[in-house]
Amino acid sequence: MTVQKERSRVLQTTKKINELIIEHFSKAWDVKSQGKPISWVTVFTPVELLYAMGVYPISPEHFGAMCSARGVALDYFEHAEKSGYSQSLCSYSRCCLGYVTSGMSGLMPPPDILITFRNSCDVYVKWWQSLHSHLGTQLFVGEAPYVLSEDDMDNYVLDYVVKQLEQLVKMVEQKFSLKLDMERLVEIVKLSDKASELWLEILKLRRFRPCPLGGRDSASDIFPLVVMQGTDEAVKFYEELLREVKEKVNSGQGIVENERFRLLFDGIWLWHAFDLIKYFEDKRAVFVHEPYSEAWACRLDASKPMESIARKILTMGLNVDIDLRIESFLKSISEYQIDGAVLFSNRSCKSWSAPQLVTADILREQLGIPSLLFEADMADPRQYAEAQIKSRIDAFLEVLGER
C-alpha cells in the first residue's frame, strides 16, 4: 500500500482556538487584577447573565479537558486523590479539586462566586460544595427539574428557573455592587444566539460528502460555546469557520481523502487520546456527526432573554427525556449518511453513557447500523487501554467494509 502525503486534518480556523483559549484565561487574570469578580461555573449555566453584569465566567470542566489534552491532568488527579477524592469520581471534578488543593497556581484565577445548576450532572452539586468548603467562596446552586416534554415547560418549570435566575441576579448585584443592564443583556443574548446559529449551520455542512470538518475540528471548535457565549469573539470565530467550511464544500475537499466510512461519535471526546481520531482517519473513516458537538448550540430569543436562558438551562441534552436523545440520534443517521456509530462509554460521565446500550440495539434493529462500544475515561489516561481499543476499531472498520 502506498503511503499518501498527509494533508493536515485540522482546519485553519480551528488552529486559532488555542489563541482564543489563552486570551480567555489571560483576560480572566486581567479582570481579577482589576478587582472585578470571577465566577466558576458549570456548563449550561447563565453565562450571558454574568457577562451582562460584569462577572467573568470560567469553566473548570473546560479546564479539565484542556489539562487532559495537554498531558498535565495527572498531577491534579494525584493531588485530588491524595486529599481523599476517590478515583471513581468524575475526572473533571478531580482535576479541578486537585488544582485547588495543590494551591491554584495555573490558568484559572480563584473564584469570587461559585455557580452551578442541577441540570445535567449528578456530581456538580457535591463538587461545587467541595469547592465552597475548600475556598469559602459564596455558592449558588440552582435547581432544574427534568424536562420530559414541552408541556412540563409551559406549566411551571420554566417559571421556576426564571425565578431562580432573578435570585441569582439579586445575589450578584448585592455582593459585588453591580447592576444588571437589561439592554446589554439583550445584546449579549443576541450574540450568544448568533454563535449557536452559526455553529449549527457549520455542523449541517458535514452532511456533504466528503465531510469538510472532522472530529479533531469539532472537538476543539466547541470552546467558544462553552464559556464565551455572548461575546463578539465567539461570533467572529464561527463566521470565519463557516467561511472556511463552505469553501471546503465548494471545492469538494474532505477532511480525509477518499472518504470510506462516515461515522457518528457519541460521548465526550477522549481529550488525552486525540490520536484515536487520527487512527480512524488513517483508515479513511471520518466522524461526521457527534450529538456532543451539537449539544452546545442553544438558540435564544432576545425578546425574552431571561426566559430563553432558563430554557437553555432546562433543555440541555442531559436534562431531557432519554427518548428525545435517541430520537435525534436516529434522525441524524440518515441526515448525515452515517455508516456506523462509535459509542464511548465514559467512566466519568454516566449521565451521558447511560442510554448507549439501548441506543446500539435500536440502531441495529431499526436501521441496521452497527455500533462499536468501548470504555475509557474522557480525561484520565489511566483508564485507557490503547491496544484493546485499537483492536476493536480495526475489527469494527473491517466489518463495516464487509457490508
Partner 1 sequence: MYIGIDAGASATKAVIVNEKGEIASFAMVPSGIDFKVSSETALRKSLRMCNLDLKDMTYTVSTGYGRELVNAKSTSSEIVCISRGVFRLFPSVRTIVDVGGQDSKAIRIAENGRVSDFVMNDKCAAGTGRFLEAMSRILGKPIDELGKLHFKSSTPVKISSTCTVFAESEVISQISQGARIEDVIAGLHEAIAERICSMSSRIGLEKDVAFTGGVAKNKGFVDSLSKKIKVTPILPEEPQMICAYGAALAAIKRHQESIDHSSL
C-alpha grid cell, residue 254: 474532505
Min dist. Cβ of residue 329 to partner 1 (A): 18
Instruction: Please state the closest distance from residue 93 (CB atom) to partner 1, in A.
Output: 21
Task: Confirm or reject binding of residue 398 to partner 1 (CB under 8 A).
Answer: yes
**Nearest distance from residue 357's CB to partner 1, in Å?**
7
Site string for partner 1, 195-234 (x = CB under 8 A): ----------------------------------------
381 touches 347 (CB < 8 A) = no
CA angle at residue 345 from 288 to 362, to 5 degrees? Answer: 65
Decide if 288 contacts 338 (C-beta within 8 A).
yes
Bond preceding residue 210 cis, omega within 30 of 0:
yes
391 binds partner 1 (CB under 8 A): yes
Shortest Cβ distance from residue 341 to partner 1 (Å)? 12
- How near is the Cβ of 49 to partner 1 at its closest, in Å? 41
Given candidates 22, 364, 367, 386, which one binds partner 1 under the rule CB under 8 A?
364
Residue 375 sits in the site that holds partner 1 (CB under 8 A): yes
Asked if residue 395 binds partner 1 (CB under 8 A), the reply is yes
Of 94-102, 183-191, 206-214, 388-396, the window that binds partner 1 (rule: CB under 8 A) is 388-396
Whole-number minimum distance, CB 167 to partner 1, in Å? 43
The angle at the Cα of 329, spanning 299 to 345, to the nearest 5 degrees, equals 105
Long-range contacts from 315-318, C-beta under 8 angstroms, 24+ separation: 315/147, 315/153, 316/43, 316/44, 316/119, 316/120, 317/120, 317/291, 318/119, 318/120, 318/121, 318/351, 318/352
The whole-angstrom separation of Cα 273 and Cα 269 is: 8
Residue 33 burial (10 A CB sphere; 0-12, 13-18, 19+)? exposed
In the complex, least distance from residue 393 CB atom to partner 1, rounded to whole angstroms: 9
Q: How far is the CB of 381 from partner 1 (least distance, A)?
A: 13
Q: Give the number of other Cβ atoms within 10 Å of residue 347's Cβ.
A: 18
User: Binding partner 1 by CB under 8 A: which of 72, 182, 357, 367?
Assistant: 357
Site for partner 1 contains 388 (CB under 8 A): yes
CB 47, CB 56: distance < 8 Å: no
> Can you tell me the distance from the alpha carbon of 121 to that of 351, in angstroms, rounded to the nearest whole number?
7
Is residue 383 a contact point for partner 1 (CB under 8 A)? yes
**Cα–Cα distance for residue pair 283/398, rounded to 1 Å:** 10
Q: Of the ranges 70-78, 206-214, 310-318, 356-364, which one interacts with partner 1 (CB under 8 A)?
A: 356-364
345 binds partner 1 (CB under 8 A): yes
Among 132, 190, 284, 392, binds partner 1 (CB under 8 A): 392
292 and 269 Cβ atoms separated by less than 8 Å: yes
Report the interface residues with partner 1, using CB under 8 A.
345, 357, 360-361, 364, 370, 373-376, 383, 385, 387-388, 391-392, 394-395, 398-399, 402-403
